[in-house]
Amino acid sequence: MTTSPEFEPVPIRVLLPDGEQEVVGRLHARRQLPDGWVYLVSIPVYRNVEDGGVELAEYRMWLRPQDHLKPVAGVSYENVPTERLEPPSVVERLLGPRRPSGWVLQQLGGRRGPVHAVVHTVDCADAPPNAPGLSLDQALAAAERPGVRLCSCAERPPNSTPYWASRPASTQTSRSRA
């Protein structure tokens, strides 16, 4: 998190849960998450102490700015300590996020016919929930058994084009177009 030792929290308006009231709190830090930003804010409150008295306290929480916060006019937020996500690597930018590794076996239970089980990738929408994961060797061994087929998710990586689809139509045989 980029921070300066002399940073003093700045005012920010905090929308209270009733959706109608606002209080001015203090913005302490910002953090970027994969799905957006959260801001560490505090609001002044009172608390009871053991001798029966009341003292000033501060309540801190992480809030999503688009849902709960509004800027205070004339206040600069440029020096607020900010923690940004690491930028994606060149490989991730080019290929996209990695899929989870692993496979699961779906038993088709008592079905008659040529297919008795299907090997799915763990992130396949058709994979059975809570199925135990298979290692690469287990998935390959299962795929070699008669009556087991690979789900289309397991046959090739996402967003890839089959080899035959990238070839000019004049070089494709009738079998490769199937």
pLDDT digits (tens, 9 = 90+) for 111-162: 566 678 889 888 888 888 888 888 888 888 888 888 888 887 755 554 444 4
Name the pairing type of β-strands 54-63 and 36-48.
antiparallel
Mean pLDDT of 66-85: 95
Contact criterion met (CB below 8 Å) for 81 and 28: yes
Q: Name beta bridge partners: 134.
A: 103
Sign of torsion over alpha carbons 115, 119, 124, 130: positive
Between CA 153 and CA 159, with CA 128 as vertex, the angle to 5 degrees is: 15
Identify the band that residue 89 occupies on the pLDDT scale cut at 50, 70 and 90.
confident
Token couple for 18: 């009733």
CA distances from 9 to 4, 6, 71, 122, 133 (A): 11, 10, 13, 45, 48
Contact criterion met (CB below 8 Å) for 109 and 118: no
Global pTM value: 0.52
Measured CA to CA, the distance from residue 102 to residue 108 in angstroms comes to 20
Contact criterion met (CB below 8 Å) for 14 and 69: yes
| Residue whose structure tokens are 């290929």 | 95
54 vs 109, more confident: 54
| Predicted local confidence at residue 88, as pLDDT | 80
| Predicted local confidence at residue 103, as pLDDT | 87
The pLDDT of residue 83 is above 90: yes
pLDDT digits (tens, 9 = 90+) for 11-63: 999 999 998 999 999 999 999 998 899 999 999 999 999 999 999 999 999 99
| Predicted local confidence at residue 163, as pLDDT | 39
For residue 150, the tally of other CB atoms under 10 A from its CB is 16
Contact criterion met (CB below 8 Å) for 36 and 62: no
The pLDDT of residue 93 is above 90: no
| Predicted local confidence at residue 175, as pLDDT | 42
